[in-house]
Chain A
Amino acid sequence: MSIPETIPIIGASWDDVLFVLFAVAMVGSALLVVTLRDIIRSGVAMIASFAALAGLYVLLGSPIMAATQVLVYIGAISILVLFAIMLTQTKAGPARLVFQTQWWAAAIAAVAIVIVLTAVVVSTDWGAGPPQESATSDVARLLFDAYTLPFEAVSVLLLAAIIGGIFLAKRDPSRDEAGR
């Protein structure tokens, strides 16, 4: 049994419906990330936002990036953030003020960014062709051929980040006592 080309009653294509679904989920949970009072909940909303974004990557025809999004962002970075939240929360619970006192200036800046970016996107002719999928084998061939140097540089960068992270977060007894 094959599914019909378009959704029977509405007449919209499946791609469009999925796009709207993922877009609304992503923007909605991103708004929750920046507005929720309880920071643990905003961490969980961030995971939902990453998951919706992985769906958008699939729609864009890049399965390797969708898999990476799930593995690295949902699997690693979100867990790292949740651990950091649990290490740094005071017992008093969420802070009384969620936002800085000048939060309205940040809101104006964000709205200005949306307006400027939308104007640029709409007024520019990007010369876009029909969407095309990028096969994982082609991506791999390119990564280990033309992009070998950036690949190796990233590996050195990750090693440096591991060492730096351990050094920074390491408990230093003498400094701990002096700091208090």
Chain B
Amino acid sequence: MAHSLDAYLVLSGLLFAIGTFGFLARRNAISMLMSIELMINAVNLTILAFGAFLPALKDHASVIALIVVAVAAAEATVGLAIVIAIYRNRRTPLVDEYDAMRQ
């Protein structure tokens, strides 16, 4: 099982779906950002699984995954800063209470 590409791909699909559910369903903005991190990790797992099993992608996969991690770190920094800035104005982390443009 550990030596089949399909097992890793199904596993990362499962992780991606969990992240999707969390992003769509949670009310807390930080929970949504954590779900995005789960989805990014699922993508990284896919990249590395392809790199391990397809000879043409052998070392390229690790490099691409490293770059994805750096971009994800930048995304987390800016995303959390935005959440903190909104919290300072609205006094709540719940996204369904950010309705200023609807009133």
Give chain A's interface residues, CB within 8 Å of chain B.
Answer: 13, 15-16, 18-20, 23, 26-27, 30-31, 33-34, 39, 42-43, 46, 49-50, 53, 56-57, 59-62, 64-65, 68-69, 72-73, 76-77, 80-81, 84-85, 87-90, 95, 97-100, 103, 105-107, 109-111, 113-114, 117-118, 121-122, 126-135, 138-139, 142-143, 147, 150-151, 154, 157-158, 160-162, 164-169, 171, 175-176, 179
Contact = CB atoms under 8 A, between A and B. Distances in A.
Interface of B: 1-11, 13-31, 33-35, 37-38, 41, 44-45, 48-55, 58-63, 65-67, 69-78, 80-85, 87-89, 91-94, 96
B93 A162 contact: no
A134 B74 CA distance: 26
A157 B9 CA distance: 29
The DSSP consensus for interface residues of chain B is helix
Nearest to B47: A65
A89 B2 contact: no
The DSSP consensus for interface residues of chain A is helix
B84 A147 contact: no
A175 B77 CA distance: 22
A62 B27 contact: no
B10 A117 contact: yes
Given A46-B37, A99-B25, A161 B16 contact: no
Nearest to A31: B18
A90 B94 CA distance: 10
A142 B11 contact: no
